[in-house]
Structure 1
Amino acid sequence: MLFAEETSRRGDCTVSFYLAGNRVGDPLPAHRVLLCGGSAFLGAQAVRWSQQSVLGPELRVPLSSLDDLPPAVAALRFLYTGSLGAAAITAAQLLQVRRQAAFLLLEACVEACDAALLARITAAAPHHPKLASGAAGGCPPAAPGVASGTARPTYTVRRAPGPSFPAGSSSAVAAGGDDASLAGVAELHACRHLLPSAADSACGAALLRACRQQLAASQELCAQPVGMPCGAPVSAAELLAWAFPDAPSLLCDPGARRQVEALPAAALEALLGSDGFATDDEATVLLLLAHWLGANTGVVSAVLRERLCRLVRLRQLGETYLRCVLPRLPWFPIAREELAFLEQYADAGGRANKRSRARGAAGSEAQYDTAGPWYCATARPGMRSDAGRPYEWRVGQEQLLTALRSGNCHGQQLGPFELVGSFYNGAQRLVSRGFEYRPILAQQEGGNEAHLSLQCALPDALGLPASAQVAGLASTSAQLAVYRCPPAGGGEPSSREACGLRYDGDEPVPVGWGWSHHAVLPLERAERVTTLWGRQQQGRPLLPAATRLAADPLQGWGAYVSGGQISGYLVWE
C-alpha cells in the first residue's frame, strides 16, 4: 500500500506491476494528481492508457525481475511520504530505488537517493589540508537539483508500511581506527555493480569523487582491511583500484589528479602494487608517480621514493620511455648498469630463445632483483575508463583575434599562425601512453585554409633537466574534430562536425611534434571577404583592402566561431 488505508478509498486510479506481461501482486489504489504530477512516465501513460479498473485508469509499471518490486513501490511511496527511510536502507537498496525512480522519471526521488548516497559516503569525513572544502576537484558537488552552498534537504527517517526490502544490517562499522570514515566507501564498493556509470551519469561521477576524497583523506587506510558488517573485509588495494581505476583517465581530469596527489604514501603504494590498477601504458603509471612526487616534495624521503619507484613495471615501458626518458630522470633511483641490464632483459624476453634469457637472469640474480616489479613480465590491465568519452576543447575569440593581428601580412590578416586549444575540464593537455597531447589550429600562408592536428609533448611533471633532449617516438589512438557554427537561420546543421581526423596508433610521431596528416578547414578567401564587405556598404565607396578586412577580422573564420569561441572534441580510443 502506498498510503494509509483510509486514504486509499479516495483513490482515482490503480498502479499494477507487470513482469513479462503478467501482473505481479495486487493492484495498489493511488491518486493521479500525485503520481502523474511526480512521474512523467506515469503522466504520459495516464493520457493514452484506455484500460480501466474498478478505481479508474490502471497505470502499469514494468519490472525486469521480482526483485524490482520492493524498490519500485518504495520509489512511488516517496511521492506520498517524501521519505526514503535512509537509516534503515542500505546503499544497495538505495541504488535499487534510484534505478526504479530514474526509469519512472521520478526526479525528486532520484535527487533524494543521490543526496542519501553521498551522505553515507561522507559521514564522519576526515579532514585533509589538500582537499579542503570547496577546493577544485576535492569536494563533491551537491546532488543534482540541490544548489551549491545550500543545505542538503533532509528526509524523515521512517519506514512506511507496505512491501519491504529483505532484512539487512546498516553500514555502521564497529571496527576502530579509520574504518568508520571508510564504511560508506566499502559499502558502495560492495554494490558497485548497481552504480550508474560515472561516464554517463552526474550521480555516478559525484559518488566516485566522494569515494576518492574519503580515501585520500584517510591516513590509516592501509593499516588493516576495511571491515564490513556482512561479508569479508575489503583490502585497501581493492578499494583504491576501484575508486582510482586507471592512470590515464586520472591524469586527464585535473580534479581527480589532485585527489591522487593527496593520497597518503601508503595508499599510493597499495595502488601501484595492485594488479587491478589499469593503464594504457606503464609510462602513464610512471608519469602518475612523478605527479605525486612533485606534489609532495619536501615530505618524501629517499627511502620512500625508492620504495614507490620499485613498484613501476619498467620492463613494460615502451622504447622511448625505457631508452630515452628513464635514463634522464634525475629522481628515479636506478643505476646505469642495472638499466643497461634491464634493457637487455626486456629485449631477451621478446625473443624465441628463452634459454639465453634464463641464463642472463640466473647470472644476475644475486645482483638484481629480477623477481621484483621492475622485471615483471605481466602487464597491468590495458584499459582507460574514459575511452570513447569526448573531451571538448576550445579556442577563445580573443585568442583568435590576437593571433590574427600577430599574423598580419602586408596589412591583411593572411599570415600563418597557430592556435592552441584548451579543454573544458581545465586541463591544458591530455595524457596518453605517458605523453601529453593538445589540439592545434594553424592558419596557413595566404589565409585560405587552416589545419587541425594533434601535437605531442613530453610532460613537464617528469622533471627532466632543461638540457635533456629526448629523441624518441610516440603514438596514440584518438579522434580529433572541430565543430561547425550553427546555421544563421537557426536549427541544427546536417553534421555538427566541420572536419575531423583519426589517429590509429600505427603512425608514430617525434616527441614534441605534431602529425604530418591533418584535417583542413576552408577559410573565407580574402576576395570573398572583400566582396561581402562591399555589399554591406550598400553603394558606398570601398575602403582600401587592408581596412576592409580589418573591419571584420573574424570573417574568414566565421564558419567555426560560435558563442565567442572555436570548439571541438578529442576522444581516446
Structure 2
Amino acid sequence: MQRPSAYNARVVEGISSLFGQEAHADCRIVFCLEHAEKEVNKAQASTSGRKREREDDVDNSTVGEPLPAHSFVLRFASDKLAAQLEWPTKTANGANEQERPAAKKAKGKGRKAAAKPCAAEEQQRPSPPVVEVWLGSEAELPAARAALQFAYTGRVEAGDIREALQVRRQAAYLQMEGCVEACAAAVREKLTAAGAEAVPAAGAAAASATAPAAAAAEAVLELYRCTDVWPDPADDAAFAALLTEAKRRLVAHFGDALAVLNDQTLYDQMRALPAVGLEALLESDDFGTDSESSVVLLLAEWMEAADNFSRTDAAARRRLCGLLRLAQCSKTYLAWVLPMLAARHARKPDDAAGWFAVSPVAVTCVSNFAAATEEETQALTASGHLVLLLQPHADTWLSTKRRRQCLPAAGRTFDFNISLTALEQHEQEQKLASMAPGSACLITSVVPGAPTSGRVVALGLDWSGVLQRKKGQDAAAGCFAIVNMPRVLLLPGLDEVLVMSAAVTAFPRMRLTVYRGSAARGGQREKAWEGDPGGALSMGMGRGHERCLPLRPVSASAQQSGGAVAARWAAYLYGGQIRCALTLLPP
C-alpha cells in the first residue's frame, strides 16, 4: 500500500498541537528510572519472593511530571508503546497478567502501572491507561520527551549533535519508526551546516580558519565528543554512512601530523579526541605527514594526555599501534626510539609508559625489513615466517603505501622570534664577559602558537632555531638548528635518557632565515641571511653558521646608557624582536 503523497494540513497541525496537552488525552506517560526499579526487585527478592502488596511501590522511581498522551497517536507512532496500550484490553478479556509486554530498555519482567487514581475517582470512572517509559537516568528525560514529541510533530527538536543522538537512542528504544532516521538526518544537517564543505584540507588552525570552516570543524569535533551515545554502526546503516563522512571531515580538519604537532589549538583538540577519533586519523591515507615517525610521536602525545591511557584497554592500544606503518619510520626511530618503547612495554604493559603495544621481536623484524635491499625483502617475505611473526598487523607494520606527503615543494615555514628583553636577560645571565675566550652561549627562541615553546616538530623530533654569541667574537653572531628527543619519549631513568641522547639523526631538508629589522618592502620581509644546515648529529647538537649575522660596534655612550644589546643587534630588531624562520622542505 502506497502512502499518500499529500496530507491534510489542518489535521497534521491539529495532531501536532496536542503534544503535552490534556485536550482529548486518554492515557498518561510516566517516566521511570531503571535503577530504582532494580532496587524494588531486590527488595521483593528479600521477602521470600512475595509479590509487593502495594501497587504504588514504584512511585519513587518516577521522574518529571506525567505526560498527558493520546493513544490514537502512540499506537501508530511506537510499537513498544502500542504493546503497552494493548495490555489493559487483553487483561480485561481474561489474558494472563504475566503476558504484559516489558516496557523497560534492558531485559526484564513486565511491570504494572506506576500510579493509580484515588478510590473516589476510581468509583466514578476507570483510570486512564498508564504507559511506562524507562530511563537510565534523569538526564535522559528531555530526550525521551523529544522523541515522544516527534510522534506528534514529525520533527526532531535538538539543539546540538549530542541532543540529537540522545533523542535517537530513545527513539530506538521506543521502536518509533521514522524518528531514528530523522535524528541521523539532523546530525548530518548540523555537520554540513555553516559551510562545512569549507573544512580546510591543510589542517589549518582554528584561529586562522574561515568562520564557516571553524564552525564545520567544531561540529565534527562535537560528534566525536559524543561517542558515549553513538549507536553501533553495525546495527545502523544510516549512522554508519554518516560516520564515514564524519571521518573524512575529521581528517580534513586535522590535515597532517606536522600541523597537529606544531599548532597548540590542533594539538589540544587531538589530545581530547576519544580513541575512535584518533583511530580515524591513524588509519587514513589522507592524514598527511613528513615521516611515519611523526605519526608515532602523535600517538605518544595522545597517550600522555590525561586519562587517555586509562580510558583504553590493552586491546584498544594494540589496535591503535597496529595502524602505524612502522617500516616507514626514520632510521632514528627504527634504531633507537622503537626498541626503547618496545622494551618499556615488555617490562610494564599495563603502565602508561608501556603504551607502545609492540613486542621487541616485532620491532626487530620491522627494522630488518625496512633496512633490507629489494632482493633481501623478497627473501624475507617469501617464506612467510616474517609475516607470521607480525600477525595480525603485518600488513600495516610492513606497509609500503605512504601517507600523503604534507610538505609542499616550497616547504612549510615556522616563524621563531627572540625578543630584545630575552637578548638582554640572556646575555646578563650568561655573563658573557666572564666566560672563557671561545665559549659560546645560545639564545633560544619562541615559536608562536607551538605546543612546545621554541621547538618545531619534524621527523618525530624537536628542532630549535637559536642564535649564538661567542666570547671574543663581537663582530658577528651565528644561527643554528638544534635537534632534541621529544620530552614525551623520555623517562626519568638515567639509562634511558642516556640511550636516547646517544641517538643520531640526519637533518631533514630545511632552511634557516633571519630577517632584517627594516620595515617590510612590497609586503615581503627582507632576508638578512639564509642558510641550509645539513648532515647528521646526535641529540642536543646543532648545525648552522657561526658568523652569518654581522653585529654593529657598540659606542661608549650606548654602553653607558645600558643600550648596548639593542645597539649591537639593531640591524635585525623590528618591533622589539628578532624575526627568524625555519622552513621544512620535502624529502
Q: What SS is found at the alignment partner of 2:483?
A: strand
Residues 1:326 and 2:338 are matched in the alignment:
yes
Which of 160, 169, 174 is 1:124 aligned to? 160
Deviations 1:239-292 (A, max 9, x none): 322222211111111110111111111121222112222211101110110111
- Measure the CA separation in 1 of the matches of 2:432 and 2:561: 12
Deviations 1:284-303 (A, max 9, x none): 11011011110124323333
Could you tell me which runs of 5 or more consecutive residues in structure 2 were left unpaired when the two chains were aligned: 1-157, 164-178, 345-353
Q: What SS is found at the alignment partner of 1:248?
A: helix
Q: What SS is found at the alignment partner of 1:270?
A: helix
State how many pairs are aligned.
386
Which has the larger helix fraction? 2
Greater CA drift, 353-362 or 558-567 = 353-362
Q: What SS is found at the alignment partner of 2:394?
A: coil
- Measure the CA separation in 2 of the matches of 1:340 and 1:273: 23
Where do residues 103-142 of structure 1 align in structure 2 (5 Å cutoff)?
124=160, 126=162
Does structure 2 conserve the Cα–Cα contact (< 8 Å) formed by 1:480 and 1:500? yes
* 2:147 corresponding residue in structure 1: none
* 2:33 corresponding residue in structure 1: none
Deviations 1:511-535 (A, max 9, x none): 3221144671111234xx23xx2xx
- Measure the CA separation in 1 of the matches of 2:410 and 2:219: 22
* 2:290 corresponding residue in structure 1: 280
Residues 1:461 and 2:488 are matched in the alignment:
yes
Where do residues 67-146 of structure 1 align in structure 2 (5 Å cutoff)?
124=160, 126=162
Q: What SS is found at the alignment partner of 1:381?
A: coil
Query: Which letter maps to 2:530?
Result: G
Deviation at 1:406, TM superposition (A): 2.6
Which of 513, 531, 543 is 1:481 aligned to? 513
Residues 1:376 and 2:399 are matched in the alignment:
yes
Deviation at 1:209, TM superposition (A): 4.4
Residues 1:401 and 2:424 are matched in the alignment:
yes
* 1:496 corresponding residue in structure 2: 526
Query: Which letter maps to 1:206?
Result: A
Where do residues 61-460 of structure 1 align in structure 2 (5 Å cutoff)?
124=160, 126=162, 175=181, 180-181=186-187, 183-186=189-192, 191-192=197-198, 198=204, 202-203=210-211, 206-207=214-215, 209-211=217-219, 213-219=221-227, 223-224=232-233, 234-295=244-305, 296-329=308-341, 330=344, 331=354, 332-348=356-372, 350-362=373-385, 365=388, 368-369=391-392, 371-384=394-407, 388-410=411-433, 416-427=440-451, 428=453, 429-446=455-472, 447-460=474-487
Does structure 2 conserve the Cα–Cα contact (< 8 Å) formed by 1:394 and 1:421? yes
Does structure 2 conserve the Cα–Cα contact (< 8 Å) formed by 1:451 and 1:520? yes
- Measure the CA separation in 2 of the matches of 1:570 and 1:276: 25
Normalising by structure 1, report the TM-score. 0.58
Does structure 1 conserve the Cα–Cα contact (< 8 Å) formed by 2:282 and 2:323? yes
- Measure the CA separation in 2 of the matches of 1:372 and 1:124: 39
Deviations 1:92-146 (A, max 9, x none): xxxxxxxxxxxxxxxxxxxxxxxxxxxxxx961549xxxxxxxxxxxxxxxxxxx
1:496–1:366 distance in 2 versus 1, CA, 3 Å: closer
Deviation at 1:196, TM superposition (A): 11
Q: What SS is found at the alignment partner of 2:462?
A: strand
Deviation at 1:569, TM superposition (A): 2.3
* 1:513 corresponding residue in structure 2: 541
Deviation at 1:403, TM superposition (A): 1.4
- Measure the CA separation in 1 of the matches of 2:484 and 2:410: 20
Does structure 1 conserve the Cα–Cα contact (< 8 Å) formed by 2:191 and 2:216? no
1:486–1:243 distance in 2 versus 1, CA, 3 Å: same
1:177–1:337 distance in 2 versus 1, CA, 3 Å: farther
Query: Which letter maps to 1:562?
Result: Y
Does structure 2 conserve the Cα–Cα contact (< 8 Å) formed by 1:361 and 1:370? no
1:367–1:444 distance in 2 versus 1, CA, 3 Å: closer
Normalising by structure 2, report the TM-score. 0.57
Q: What SS is found at the alignment partner of 1:473?
A: strand
1:477–1:237 distance in 2 versus 1, CA, 3 Å: same
Deviation at 1:205, TM superposition (A): 5.8
- Measure the CA separation in 2 of the matches of 1:460 and 1:378: 29
- Measure the CA separation in 2 of the matches of 1:426 and 1:406: 25
Could you tell me which runs of 5 or more consecutive residues in structure 1 were left unpaired when the two chains were aligned: 1-121, 128-172, 537-546
Deviations 1:279-331 (A, max 9, x none): 11101110110111101243233332222111111111111101111111222
Q: What SS is found at the alignment partner of 1:175?
A: helix
Query: Which letter maps to 1:210?
Result: E
1:222–1:516 distance in 2 versus 1, CA, 3 Å: farther
- Measure the CA separation in 1 of the matches of 2:475 and 2:324: 49
Query: Which letter maps to 1:509?
Result: L
* 2:553 corresponding residue in structure 1: 525
Does structure 2 conserve the Cα–Cα contact (< 8 Å) formed by 1:198 and 1:205? no
- Measure the CA separation in 2 of the matches of 1:292 and 1:302: 15
Does structure 2 conserve the Cα–Cα contact (< 8 Å) formed by 1:456 and 1:474? no
Query: Which letter maps to 1:520?
Result: C
Query: Which letter maps to 2:304?
Result: G
Does structure 2 conserve the Cα–Cα contact (< 8 Å) formed by 1:418 and 1:441? yes
Give the number of the structure whose alpha-carbon radius of gyration is greater: 2
Does structure 1 conserve the Cα–Cα contact (< 8 Å) formed by 2:220 and 2:249? no
Greater CA drift, 550-559 or 379-388 = 379-388
Does structure 2 conserve the Cα–Cα contact (< 8 Å) formed by 1:246 and 1:385? no
